[in-house]
Amino acid sequence: MFFIQQLINGLTQGMIYALMAIGFSVIYGVVGLVSFVHGEVIMLGAFTGFFMIVFLDTNIFAALIAGFIVTWILGMCIDGVAYRPFKNAPREICLIMTIALSIFLRSLTQVVLGTRQQMIPDVFGNKYFMIGDVRITYIQIFIAAVIVILLLALQQFLYRTRVGLSLRAVSMDKDAAALVGVNVNNAIRTGYALGCALGGVSGVLLGIYYNSVHPVMGASASMKAFASTVFGGLTSIPGAAIGGMVLGISENLGVGYIHSGLRDIIAFLIIIAVLLIRPSGLLGRKEAGE
Amino acid sequence: MKRLLMLIMASVLLLGLTVVGAEDVVKIGLSAPNTGNYAEYGENFRYSALMAVEKINAEGGIRGRKVEIVVMDSKGDPREAATIAQRFVENPDIVAQIGDFTSTACLAAAPIYERAGMVQLSPTSSHPDFAPSGEYMFGIVGTQAAEGPFNVKYIAQEYLDINSVAVIYINNDWGVVTKDYFVEAAEDYGLEITACEPFFEGERDYNAVLTKLRRTNPEGLYIAAMYNEASLITRQLQNLGWDVAMLAPSSVFSDNFISLAGDAAEGLATNTFFALNDPDPTVQAYIQEFVARAGREPNLHAACAYDSTLMLAEAIERAGFDRAAIRDELAKTNDFIGVTGRLEFTDVGDIERRYKILVVEDGDWVVKADYTK
């Protein structure tokens, strides 16, 4: 029963990691670059959820939608500042811009919204049900449902719409996509905004699951997203999801059975192991020349 | 030629202004986390120190000079604290330093202040190794060496009447030493410790650790963490449906703790020497002014920062502006009564505190027992 309980904890955490990782992976696939500001995007999504629930007193669905929209817009702005002006410049410039934006957004949030942790009350009133000795809360079910629905929607979007097609084309080969008439700049902006919006929703879910938001919560979120994506393959969305689940479950089992100091170490160990054994990740595409 | 003359006159004027400005001021350095994970605590330091300084200046300053606080942000990072220490000691205008918040940062900066011979007066470092680490190191919050046994004997055994406790602690200098003193005192007093599990700073998901501790079936849980982490722990305890007695060291005492933890905090017991409903008029005046400035009630840390500043100012008044003389006068402090009580240093620069028991009841902190008098 202890094992099952730890497994349930791990699954819930894993699903949130999976969503963060999927956003990250969409960005990497379409833009071709790691985004160091993803943690802060997640944090701002969480704060949007906080405002909606605590100050505007709306329900959870409105909070999720608001989180999605706000971070979509934020993603478009970041693209305008960090990627679009530098599309012909060395790629390092974009990486440094995202690092700079990460520091900027984190500090700006602390200045504008205060430095303190803020509380989000229980949206489901801590209701749960028991299966034997194992306790599953309504929030855990809700989070699982939201993530599954989002994944299905994402799949439909990517494989059944023209915009999704353009994103996939750009992620495969930018120049070839341009040659066949895809507007690459728009695709990059849409892809980036989509990745950020998924991150924003995962931020809202983090906020309601842990009942707290804090301006510095982005750093560890970003590291977990990165580790999950590396594990699953930087360009593969299903891989990122699997990576997130594996990370969440192994962290919880590691903490439960071995030592609670291991939590963050496991994420790093996974990155190291993957890079040594199979650098393209579990389901990633092998790059040309490998 | 004319332009050169104007330039020279302007620089002489500016120089004159700065020299005139500098004469009238005595500077005290303040190193605290203004940003980062512990930013709220640094803010409390700042509000309290500025309040104290305004009070001193309104009463004529120190030996006729106005006091100025030079604030630098340590971000809660020991490396930053060390860098700040370097800058403070190299500035000849700064005569002493107040700070830092975490024991880790204080310990990191201590060798620098010690070598340069500048006082580091920490309002909140409760690590027993800090004050003894140097002649110039002082701490006023009391150490875990006193809190641990108090938590075991008076809170766990007498007030809560339990026989077994599990410990969850933050894995940094402060957390480890707090756990160590608690466990050692538990052995001395015959309280069973069923398990001890650490977590790292910044952790937000405690479900795995709490599930693990729950398996060992303790009657109580000792939460050695700062109040933002402790609030998450109590919430997750509630989510797990684990009905266990909760106790914690004084680090959790703050009105933020109750607003963050909600009703999950009901029944948690901790110790303090600063209570918001203290009838003493000086304490109440301090609380009201703090609320007016900061928009929230002060906690133990804020009160200690206030007392530190006033205490240091009195030492400078007696000693003059020489850093070594200030240190000697500070060590000799023996009739200072601040908002946290009567303060007198031990030989190593610590204060031996006595406590009251505070419990969360109906969403408020209630004093249940008083051992300070």
pLDDT digits (tens, 9 = 90+) for B53-98: 999 999 988 888 899 999 999 988 899 999 999 999 999 999 999 9
pLDDT value of position B14 = 64
Residue of B167, B211, B240, B256 best to disrupt the A interface, most CBs of A under 10 A: B211
Please name the residue that has the structure tokens 């906080």: A50
Please name the residue that has the structure tokens 């040309």: A288
Percentage of chain B modeled with pLDDT above 90: 45
Sort A289 into a burial class: Cβ within 10 Å, 0-12 / 13-18 / 19+. Answer: exposed
Residue of B43, B75, B170, B204 best to disrupt the A interface, most CBs of A under 10 A: B204
Q: Which residues face B193 on adjacent strands?
A: B165
What is the nearest CA distance from A270 to chain B, expressed in angstroms?
19
Q: Which of A122, A214, A260 sits opposite B208 (nearest CB)?
A: A260
Q: Average of pLDDT values for B113-132?
A: 91
Residues of B in contact with A216 (CB under 8 A): 36-37, 202
Q: How many Å apart are CA A217 and CA A44, to the nearest integer?
A: 10
Q: Average of pLDDT values for B153-167?
A: 91
pLDDT tens, position by position, B265-290: 999 999 988 888 787 888 899 999 99
Mean pLDDT of all residues belonging to chain B: 88
A231-264: burial string, b at 16+ Cβ within 10 Å, e else: bbbbbbbbbbbbbbbbbbbbbbbbbbeeebbbbb
Domains of chain B and CATH, by start: 25-143+281-343 (3.40.50.2300), 144-275+355-370 (3.40.50.2300)
Which element (helix H / strand E) includes B193? strand B192-199
Reported confidence tier of residue B193, pLDDT bands at 50, 70, 90: very high
Beta-carbon separation of B208 and A135 below 8 A: no
Residues of B in contact with A210 (CB under 8 A): 204-205, 232, 235-236
pLDDT value of position B37 = 73
Q: How many Å apart are CA A106 and CA A108, to the nearest integer?
A: 6
Residue B36 at interface with chain A, using a CB cutoff of 8 Å = yes
Reported confidence tier of residue B15, pLDDT bands at 50, 70, 90: low
Residues of A in contact with B204 (CB under 8 A): 210, 212, 217, 220
What is the nearest CA distance from A44 to chain B, expressed in angstroms?
16
Residues of B in contact with A220 (CB under 8 A): 202, 204
Residue A255 at interface with chain B, using a CB cutoff of 8 Å = yes
pLDDT value of position B20 = 47
pLDDT value of position A285 = 66
pLDDT value of position A161 = 93
* Residues in chain A where the model's pLDDT stays below 70: 285-290
Residue ranges covered by each domain of chain A: 2-218
pLDDT tens, position by position, B311-365: 999 999 888 889 999 999 888 888 888 888 888 888 888 888 888 898 998 888 8
Beta-carbon separation of B211 and A5 below 8 A: yes
Q: Average of pLDDT values for B158-183?
A: 92
pLDDT value of position A289 = 38
pLDDT over 70 at B21, yes or no:
no
Q: Average of pLDDT values for B88-110?
A: 91
pLDDT value of position A290 = 38
